[in-house]
Chains A and B, each alone.
Chain A
Amino acid sequence: MGTKEFNWPEALRNDRERTLTQLYKQTFPMVLHYVKRNSGTEQDAKDLFQDAVIIFYEKAVRGELTLTASASTYLVSICRKRWLRELHQRSHWESTEGQELDQAQPPADFELEKPESEPSLMEYVEQLGSTCQSILLSFYYFRQTMEQIAEQHQYRNIRTATVQKFKCLERLRKSVSTALLETFYH
């Protein structure tokens, strides 16, 4: 975005919806164009692009993002690499019907690492109720600051919000612990 360094982590933390909408509007048409021209569908383009934005978000808020060009260029290049790989896998699949797809691909930095969590545990996050859920996701996933979280939930100060955060974490840990014990004994 221009010559001046745009602070993506800050923009994403301050107003995720607006920042992502802007990025979406600016970049998705290019990805769509590229994928459609290379034997893909609109659905392919959407899945590809959304994965790329997730990679971008996670890297940005963790301070792992080094942009050498604009964010749009970065996203398009992730999508291009992944789409080429996808096409390669599809053609490979067709030409070696029934054979094992070769699994020995090294994970690259444009990949989404697989979620390590049991899908069955997801419901415990839901059961926390909306306040706890929002505090925990805002802090641990969206990496917002405690100041922002305290303000969003109208806590008097960071300290109160932090105590609340640990109470929520304690509740979640309790239910996960019980669930894990149950699977262990069955």
Chain B
Amino acid sequence: MRPELERIQLIEDYLYQRLSPTQTADLEVRLLIEPDLYEELEVQKQVYNLLQARGRRQLRSELEHIHQRLYGQPTYPWLAYILVGFLALAAGCWLMG
């Protein structure tokens, strides 16, 4: 992986607490002396929050979909056909008669 991606991975491992105590201590020192790294970390936190919020929205829409499939007006299309058929017939009779 190129260095920029390695850096993103390092920040991720830190935020997800996957680093060893030594690596964690090293990174925490770097965060103090490298403002750029600190800023990247802050943005990356926002990105994970954003993915959490966006993922939840996705799950909600999947549940809505399941709900519609299970309970969404099953008799409707059928009723609509009968109604349209009936109206067409009525209109036909009216025009002819």
Contact = CB atoms under 8 A, between A and B. Distances in A.
B4 interface: yes
Interface stretch (A3-11, A84-92, A168-176): A168-176
Given A163-B5, A166-B5, A170-B4, A141 B54 contact: yes
Nearest to A115: B53
Interface residues of B, number: 32
B93 to A, nearest CB: 39
The 6 nearest A-B residue pairs measured at CB: A141-B55, A115-B53, A117-B53, A166-B5, A140-B51, A117-B49
A57 B12 CA distance: 23
Interface in A121-144: 121-122, 124-125, 136-137, 140-142
Given A54-B60, A137-B54, A141-B54, A20 B66 contact: yes
Interface in B62-97: 62-64, 66-67, 69-71
A17 interface: yes
Nearest to A140: B51
B9 A166 contact: yes
A137 B62 contact: no
Contacts of B30: none
Interface string A20-59: 1100110010000000000000000010001001100110
B70 A21 contact: yes
Interface of B: 1, 4-5, 8-9, 12, 40, 43-44, 46-60, 62-64, 66-67, 69-71
A166 B55 contact: no
Contact of A142 (B1, B46, B55, B64): B55
Interface of A: 16-17, 20-21, 24-25, 28, 46, 50, 53-54, 57-58, 115-119, 121-122, 124-125, 136-137, 140-142, 163, 166-167, 169-170, 172-173, 176-177, 180
Given A115-B56, A166-B1, A169-B8, A20 B50 contact: no
Contacts of B5: 163, 166-167, 170
A122 B57 contact: yes
Given A21-B70, A24-B63, A46-B67, A163 B54 contact: no
Nearest to A121: B50
Contact of B53 (A122, A142, A177): A122
Contacts of A163: 1, 5
Nearest to B42: A180
Contacts of A57: 59
A142 B49 CA distance: 14
